[in-house]
Structure 1
């Protein structure tokens, strides 16, 4: 029941932030950021388990590990960009948050090029000439 702990921590943080925000907005932001990082660190073990299962499935399916690692990197970029953008939004910097999201999307496109190239090559080979 880890979700109960995570939601509980989120609710307690929210109450504290609402109380502290009027007097010390910087401290309220730091508390919010610290809570987000704490939740992320709490979930790292779960993420490692998922990655292990995916690697095992890829090995059994005889999938090239380069593709799996690239997909995992893409997923990581998406999560980290979203997390960073949300923290920056909490600080009231919407324009910076938008730039973080744009950067994440561009990096995902760059990382996806090898996979898209292989897919296009495969489709071209399947087409009759």
Structure 2
């Protein structure tokens, strides 16, 4: 039922933004922004449940928590960068949107370096010599 509510909010916000856009483009953008934030807040409880489940699975699998935290941070950066980029695109700022996407990719790479290093060290330890 949650998805029906989310889609309903999205469609209502879209309709309102289209109606208001002719007279007040700034208000149309604000409607879009608030709808996006509201939808994000609506699903945040589900995200907390997913993170908790993943932490439990990682503990059961004896995976170092640092790796799981890094992967979750990477996923978070990807979602936040995408959200910010879409908002910038909605505001007609495609160049800023592309800069947000680039920043997200760079930050993801920075976070991935320790994992890449660990994988390379593991591969090198398996090689004879």
Q: TM-score scaled by structure 2?
A: 0.99
TM-aligned CA deviation for residue 80 of structure 1: 0.2
1:96 counterpart residue number: 96
Report SS of the residue matched to 1:114.
Answer: helix
Distance 1:9 1:117 in 2: 44
For residues 1-129 of structure 1, what are the structure 2 equivalents within 5 Å?
A: 1-129=1-129
Distance 2:102 2:64 in 1: 29
TM-aligned CA deviation for residue 120 of structure 1: 0.4
Q: Deviations over 1:35-55 (max 9, x none)?
A: 000000111000000000000
Question: Following superposition, which runs of at least 4 residues in structure 1 exceed 3 angstroms of deviation?
Answer: none
TM-aligned CA deviation for residue 82 of structure 1: 0.2
Distance 1:126 1:103 in 2: 35
TM-aligned CA deviation for residue 110 of structure 1: 0.1
C-alpha RMSD of matched pairs (Å): 0.5
TM-aligned CA deviation for residue 101 of structure 1: 0.1
Report SS of the residue matched to 2:23.
Answer: coil
TM-aligned CA deviation for residue 127 of structure 1: 1.2
